[in-house]
Amino acid sequence: MKLKLLVFTAALFIFSSFTNFNKVIQEQPLIQEDVIAGFSSDKFAAQLKNELNGKTMGYGFAIYQDGSKVMEYSNGLKRVVKDGGELDFDNTSRLHIASMSKTLTAIATTQLLKKDGIEPDTKIKDYLPPDWEIGPNVEKITFRDLMTHRSGIRDDGPADCNGETYKQLECKIKTGVQVDSMAVHRYQNMNFALLRILIPKLEGYDHLSGEANDTSTAYKYIRYVNDNIFNKCGFSGRGLTHPDLTENVWYYHWPYENVAGQRFYDYALSMGAYGWYVSVDDYAKIINTLFNSNELLDGAWRDTMTTDGLGCYTYRGKHGGYFWHNGGWTWSDKSGSGQLHTCWMYYPNNVICVSMVNSDIPGWFPDILAHAYDKAWKKQ
C-alpha cells in the first residue's frame, strides 16, 4: 500500500510540473494501474462545452477519432452589433491561428528534409542567404534546434534585431548567439520565422540578392505550404495569409463590455511562427491527415516530428502523452481590442481535437483540452 501511495505521489508531482507551457518536456506515456476504457466523444464534447460556453465570445471545435470526424460544435458570436451586426461563430470561417502556424512550418520543413535525405541535425548555415553575415556560433545551429526552440536565438538584443521580418532576422544572424544559450529551450518566434527563409532553399531555389530575397522567400514559403499541406488535405486555396473580410471574424475581450473588437493583419512578410488564417474545420483536416495517412509525412518522419517535438509538444496526461500546440494573440489600439486562442491536441487512442476561440479563455488551452479528454471516459 505504501509503495502504491509513493508511486501515486511521484506521478502527481511529475504531472504538475508539466502544466506550464515553458515546462513541457517530452515524456513516455504514463501507465495507469486502474485501466479505464470506453472513451466517449459525446462526453468529451460535453466537457468542452462546460469549459467554454458562456466564458468566451465565440468558439468552435472539431473532434476526430480513427480518421473520421465524430463531432463538431460552435457557440457564441464571431461579430457583435457594434462591429456591424451579430453573426454566429462557425467552424468554416478562417481565423488567425497564431502559433499553430508553427506546426505547419514544421511539417513543411520536415517534408523537405525527408525529400532531400537531410537529417534534422543538419546545420542551417549553408541554407541561409549567402549575402548575410554569419555571427558567432550561428554555424552550430541545426534545423532541429530551430524547430525545438533550442537554437540560442533570443529576443534580448536591439529592437532592429528582434522580430520576424527579413531585416530583423538578418540582423539577428549577424549578431550571433551565445554558447550558453544553445541547447536550452526558450520559446522564440524568430526560430520559425527563420525557417520561412530556409524552406525555399531546401526546396531547391537559390536565394536572391538583397531586399528581393525578402518577398521571394516569403511567397515561396506560402506557395509551398498551400501546395504541400493545404492541397493535400483537400482544401486547395483556402489557406490565407491575410484576413478574409467577407468572413467577418472579429476578436474580443471577455467578459465583453460593448467595446469594439479587433481585426488582425496580413503577416505575409513575417510568417513562419504565426500568420496563417485557417478555419477550425480545415485545421482539423490537417491534423487528421498528419496522423491518419502518409500524405503529409510517413510514419517514421511523423514519429520524428512528434516524439522529438518538432513544432509540437507533449502534454503528460492521465492516459499518456498527448501531442499538441497552441496559439494566442492580444492586440489593442484606438480602433478596438481583442484576443484569440487556438489549440490542437492528439491523444493516444487516435482521438484529435482542434479548437479556436475569438476572445480570452478561462485557463490555459492545452489544460482545457487535456482535462476534457481525461473526463471523457467511462469505466468498464
Say if residue 13's pLDDT is above 90: no
Cα Rg, the chain, nearest whole Å: 21
Grid coordinates of 202: 531546401
Q: Which pLDDT score, from 0 to 100, does residue 335 have?
A: 78
Say if residue 274's pLDDT is above 50: yes
**Global confidence as pTM:** 0.90
| Range 265-279 average pLDDT | 96
CA-based nearest residue to 271, from 100, 125, 138, 129: 100
Say if residue 8's pLDDT is above 60: no
Grid coordinates of 225: 505550404
- Cell 492516459 found at: 319
Q: Which pLDDT score, from 0 to 100, does residue 380 have?
A: 57
Grid coordinates of 291: 496522423
Q: Per CATH, which fold does 2-97+237-374 belong to? A: Beta-lactamase (3.40.710)
CA-based nearest residue to 96, from 353, 284, 342, 337: 342
Q: Which pLDDT score, from 0 to 100, does residue 21 have?
A: 37
Q: Which pLDDT score, from 0 to 100, does residue 337 have?
A: 85
Q: Which pLDDT score, from 0 to 100, does residue 333 have?
A: 81
Taking the CA atoms of residue 257, residue 276, residue 106 and residue 179 in that order, the dihedral angle to the nearest 10 degrees is: -70
Would the CA dihedral through 24, 26, 32, 36 be positive or negative?
positive
Buried b (16+ CB within 10 A) or exposed e, 32-53: eeeeeeebebebbbebbeebbe
Average pLDDT, the chain: 90
* 19: confidence class by pLDDT, cuts 50, 70, 90: very low
Sheet holding 336-347, edge to edge: 87-88, 68-79, 58-65, 351-357, 336-347, 320-333, 313-317
Say if residue 239's pLDDT is above 90: no
Say if residue 231's pLDDT is above 50: yes
| Range 167-192 average pLDDT | 97
| Range 303-314 average pLDDT | 97
Report domain extents, the chain.
2-97+237-374, 105-227
**Cβ atoms of residues 290 and 296 within 8 Å:** yes
Which tens digit of pLDDT belongs to each residue from 187-228?
A: 999 999 999 999 999 999 999 999 999 999 999 999 999 999
Which tens digit of pLDDT belongs to each residue from 73-131?
A: 999 999 999 999 999 999 999 999 999 999 999 999 999 999 999 999 999 999 999 99
131: region left, alpha or beta (phi > 0 left; psi from -120 to 50 alpha): alpha
Q: How far is CA 357 from CA 58, 68, 153, 218, 375, in A?
A: 6, 23, 30, 27, 21
Show Cβ contacts of residue 20 under 8 Å, excluding neighbours closer than 6 positions.
Answer: 364
Say if residue 353's pLDDT is above 90: yes
Q: Which pLDDT score, from 0 to 100, does residue 346 have?
A: 98
